[in-house]
Amino acid sequence: MTIQKSNNLNPHVSVDCVIFGFDQNELQILLIKRGTTKAAYALPGDLIKDDENLDESASRTLYELTGLRNIFLHQLQAFGDPKRLQGYENVEWLESIRENPKARVITVVYYAIVKPKKLHPKAASFASEVKWVPVVDLPDLAFDHNEIIAQALVHLANNLKKEPLLAFEMLPKKFTFRELQQLYEEVLGKKMDKRNFRKKIFSGRSFNPFGRKRRRCFS
């Protein structure tokens, strides 16, 4: 594996991408596998190049690791704990791809919400595998990526409370009311009363019922 040269990549700034999807009635996150250690899975992420801005870096990194293009990414926040890269397994892996594996790295996190069935990710670069993993079954990830996902979930939940139509970005064109409620329950991490949920969602909004094939579908 070729070591990435420091004259091309900034050794102190990276981007990480949290890609949310909803499939099989589960909220899922796209992860890459970066080796064979215990904390082998991680968010798609890498150092930025010296000649690109953050948005460009996030799009490039996602494409290089997963093959995905044209994903609309939203900048979330930065993570800069001095100890975020510590850990023998993490440093051991970084030594295989970076000239300065112990350099302090501040990462700028991007997130997106997508429909997994419309995407066909493929592992590339230093990723040996790309897979969707349910949020409730997340393993111990590399670096501080579990913390990053926790913060991204809070952000997603707050946005969904303010703008329910955001859920449509994660659901198929035609969906059942039950699927909509399950999405909310997955994001918010709690069960919801069916009657109160229906009242809240339908209040002041227009839905087009679709009665064929699937019962109580909406489009």
Mean pLDDT value of segment 32-43: 82
Delimit the domains of the chain by residue range: 9-162, 171-218
- In the three-class reduction of DSSP (H, G, I as helix; E, B as strand; rest coil), residue 167 is classed as helix
Residue 3 has pLDDT above 90, yes or no: no
Q: Which CATH superfamily is domain 9-162 in?
A: Nucleoside Triphosphate Pyrophosphohydrolase (3.90.79.10)
Residue 100 burial by Cβ neighbours in a 10 Å radius (0-12, 13-18, 19+): middle
Residue 119 has pLDDT above 70, yes or no: yes
pTM for the whole structure:
0.85
Mean pLDDT value of segment 68-80: 95
String of b and e for 48-65 (b: at least 16 CB within 10 Å)?
beeeeebeebbbebbbeb
133-155: pLDDT as tens digits? 999 999 999 999 999 999 999 99
Which is higher by pLDDT, 100 or 127? 127
Confidence band of 66 (pLDDT split at 50, 70, 90): very high
Identify the pLDDT of residue 215.
45
Q: What is the mean pLDDT of the chain?
A: 86
Confidence band of 7 (pLDDT split at 50, 70, 90): low
